[in-house]
Amino acid sequence: MSHPHPKETGSPITASCIGLGNSKTPPPGQAGKCVPGYNVMILDDNMQKLKARSLGNIVGYYDTMDAGYMDEEGYLYVMSRVDDVINVAGHRISAGAIEESVLSHGTVADCAVVGKEDPLKGHVPLALCVLKKDINVTEEQVLEEIVKHVRQSIGPVAAFRNAVFVKQLPKTRSGKIPRSTLSALVNGKPYKVTPTIEDPSIFGHIEEVLRQTL
């Protein structure tokens, strides 16, 4: 179970508190619900609750630079770093924005986008995708559809044209994806797996998929 919190708070802000009636089988990727005593909300400068899909960032308040969201059931998800950008031919493209666009496609359950070195553009985005179970489409069809979807939602400047499909993404115990490690792996550079990764064997699986597809 994930218990995310900055060390300055001294105790978990979110957790799967089973004794309080929370589910023993929460959705994948979530970081739990608010622990009693905390009231997590996304607010504007006037301390008013923001509408869905709005980004909260109040001047003078501690900014962790993490991006995430809360679903309708109250589960919190930590998705990416807001400063995680890919330099594509001089354009700063948000990896998180591409991930959000890919995840909005009905066939993709999980996604991580990293920059792959390119001789012309410097870097281009590459998506590592986990497909939902029991879908009746091929990986080629999904790739074609998500490329079109990203082009429509972000624009051709993103230069998003490729994805690989894996069985699972590596994550830390707090639910974060080690993008710097994945970036090194994708670009054929040495990488180090930190002790906080839940299932280190996933890196070997991704390496094999990359060898077969790229």
SS3 150: helix
Segment 157-174, tens digit of pLDDT: 999 999 999 999 999 988
What is the average per-residue pLDDT within 43-57? 77
Q: Which of 46, 61, 81 is the endpoint of a domain?
A: 81
Residues 10 and 22 in one domain: yes
Question: What is the domain count for the chain?
Answer: 2
The CATH number that applies at residue 65 is 2.30.38
d(CA 149, CA 104): 9
Task: Please tell me the pTM assigned to this model.
Answer: 0.66
Say if residue 66 is in the same domain as residue 92: no
Question: Does the pLDDT at position 183 exceed 70?
Answer: yes
